[in-house]
Structure 1
Amino acid sequence: MNAPTPQVDFATPADAEKVLEEVAGRLRAGSVAPYLGPGLLALSQPDIPLAPEALAAFFATKVALPRRAKGNAWASAQHIESYKHRATVTAYMAEAFAPKVEPTAFHRHLATLPVPLIVDSWYDGAMRTALMEAARTASWGEAQGITRAGIGEDRWYRFYDAAGLESDRAAAEDWTTLLYKPHGAVAPAKNFLISDADYVEVLTEIDIQTPIPDAVKHRRTTRSFLFLGCRFNDQMLRTYARQVTKRSSGPHCAVLEPEGLSRNELKFLLETGLVPLAVPLARAVEILQG
């Protein structure tokens, strides 16, 4: 017998917009950490994959994938790594995310604010570009998740300063804004967590938070999160959302339209207490920028 579909209460559009207006003020004050997903990039229509499924389809144009890997980015990358080489996976990822991605108006708005923490869950460099172009007086830098495959180091992440040079955790604590890319990014150094093997060790320890930089843990404790352009239709995405926001202050909100949400997504909203705001994304960012 099929389990019943979880029932999630969505606020009316008018009430959801009022919540976003309040969140916009807290965002400017630095008490909200934006958590960006690839759906936000769709507003600028870049020529890169904009979802894990689209990335899996890109891999399928490069190699013949077994049925079990089709449609699954992590399994597709693992197949390529197993039958070709890790360097091939990195080369394909670099090719997929090589096209220049123009920051959206919201990326540029964020870059003007002294936001202590920005989480960006996709592999593009739009947020970094926006920060670089903003001519900020406040300091900023980036933490990226890295693969541990073949590096011979006991490291889970690397830090990069505004110039793209590798930095360290001591410097990261002093940055006004920390951009956190938990899955890595094409810029500045082509760090990618993408294959199943990449995630095995991370998922083994993420519950005790070892793979998450201390600078992220320190900044989230007094802040809530706002999810924009994110989906939770994959266990990997749900795990990261849950663990990155762990021990933060809450309540957390997500801009999501009810149509098309999977049963697992609805269940995730109920389990985590994430407040869904049924506002079209373009309208939501317009309110946040106001």
Structure 2
Amino acid sequence: MKELIKKLKTGEIIPFLGMGVFEKTLTKDGKKLPYDSDSMILALNNNRAMSPRLMYEYTRAAMSLEQRKGREFIVQMTNHIYTSTKYDIPSVYKWLEKIKPKYVIDTNLDDSLQKIYSSVNHFLITGISRITADYDRYIIYKFDVISKTYTKIDKEELNLDLPILFKPMGSIKPDMNFVISDADFVDWLTEAMGGYAVPEVLKEFRKGKQYIFFGVDFSRDTFRMVANEITLGLDGGFVLLNKEELSKKEDKFIKTHNLENIDMGIDEFINSYE
């Protein structure tokens, strides 16, 4: 355990968080936060199911809603999901709060990650998509713990002196930028493959690192591609998939990336390492 904690702090092992970390999270009014593709679709569509073709993956459903109701509708609905009511920060964030890893990747869209680092200065990188002004698909901020504010900075100012929080799919804060619909992901992944979704500092830092994946659904094509692009150069790692049987796509991704499947739920894993 001490070795794992040490490697998380130094960045030798990088935590990678997906939507599944919200599986047991309830809002104060008793509702469930989205924790998988289906529940995200329901949240975006006022708790109504959509056609089987659109229910395949939430990115497809979000694209349909955007085409029918406009981009602003998707942005505001996504923000509403995480700001309309309060909820406890999921257990894995509380666990990481004690450790304060040097580098965290979080594909969730809320601000739980920012909250657990609010006591220290840090860099925050949020993903963006479908812009024409630049190839880079990210914005970099620096957080000042005294003023409790984020300030946009140039990519040349990013360094490894402070913890780095990377939210490649965007976030509700400090600005509402979301990579959520099919068009968003196509654009983001296209530029990621060209090298424009990750700052140079992190491209160097990530070489030869291990990862531990919490709540990432590798059965979904989109997030396998996202994970693959962000972790280029990895040296294996671990994934928590508490499932009786893995799908062929999950099994292939795990073997291809030399990951060890820890057959535990997130809470069970955290409790065993406290």
Under a length normalisation based on structure 1, what TM-score does the superposition of the two structures give?
0.81
- For residue 287 of structure 1, report the CA deviation from its aligned partner: 3.3
CA distance in 1, matches of 2:100, 2:226: 24
- Say yes or no: does 1:171 pair with 2:157: yes
The structure-2 alpha-carbon separation of the partners of 1:73 and 1:104, relative to structure 1 and needing over 3 Å to count, comes to closer
Contact 2:170-2:179 within 8 A present in 1 as well: yes
2:124 to 139, 142, 157: 142
Of the structure 1 ranges 78-87 and 152-161, higher mean CA displacement relative to structure 2 is found in 152-161
Q: Which residue of 2 aligns with 1:237?
A: 223
Give the letter aligned to residue 226 of structure 1: I
CA distance in 2, matches of 1:97, 1:247: 33
- Say yes or no: does 1:86 pair with 2:71: yes
- For residue 87 of structure 1, report the CA deviation from its aligned partner: 1.0
1:209 to 173, 191, 195: 195
What are the within-5 Å matches in structure 2 for residues 84-233 of structure 1?
Answer: 84-98=69-83, 99-132=85-118, 135-136=119-120, 139-149=121-131, 152-162=133-143, 163-233=149-219
Aligned pair count? Answer: 264
* Identity score, percent: 22
The structure-2 alpha-carbon separation of the partners of 1:63 and 1:283, relative to structure 1 and needing over 3 Å to count, comes to closer
CA distance in 1, matches of 2:41, 2:91: 28
2:14 to 24, 28, 33: 33
- For residue 226 of structure 1, report the CA deviation from its aligned partner: 0.7
Q: What secondary structure, in the 3-state scheme, does the structure 2 residue paired with 1:160 have? A: strand
- For residue 112 of structure 1, report the CA deviation from its aligned partner: 4.0
Q: Which residue of 2 aligns with 1:281?
A: 266
Give the letter aligned to residue 123 of structure 2: G
CA distance in 1, matches of 2:49, 2:238: 40
- For residue 158 of structure 1, report the CA deviation from its aligned partner: 0.6
CA distance in 2, matches of 1:48, 1:106: 15
**Greater RCO, CA 8 A, separation 6+:** 1
- For residue 242 of structure 1, report the CA deviation from its aligned partner: 1.3
Residue segments in structure 1 that go unaligned for 5+ positions in a row: 1-19
The structure-2 alpha-carbon separation of the partners of 1:191 and 1:198, relative to structure 1 and needing over 3 Å to count, comes to same
Give the letter aligned to residue 206 of structure 2: R
Of the structure 1 ranges 271-280 and 56-65, higher mean CA displacement relative to structure 2 is found in 56-65
The structure-2 alpha-carbon separation of the partners of 1:70 and 1:30, relative to structure 1 and needing over 3 Å to count, comes to closer
| Cα-to-partner distance string for 1:228-263 (whole Å, 9 max, x where unaligned) | 122201111111111111113x22111112325322
Q: What secondary structure, in the 3-state scheme, does the structure 2 residue paired with 1:164 have? A: strand
The structure-2 alpha-carbon separation of the partners of 1:54 and 1:260, relative to structure 1 and needing over 3 Å to count, comes to farther
Contact 2:128-2:139 within 8 A present in 1 as well: yes
Contact 1:117-1:216 within 8 A present in 2 as well: no
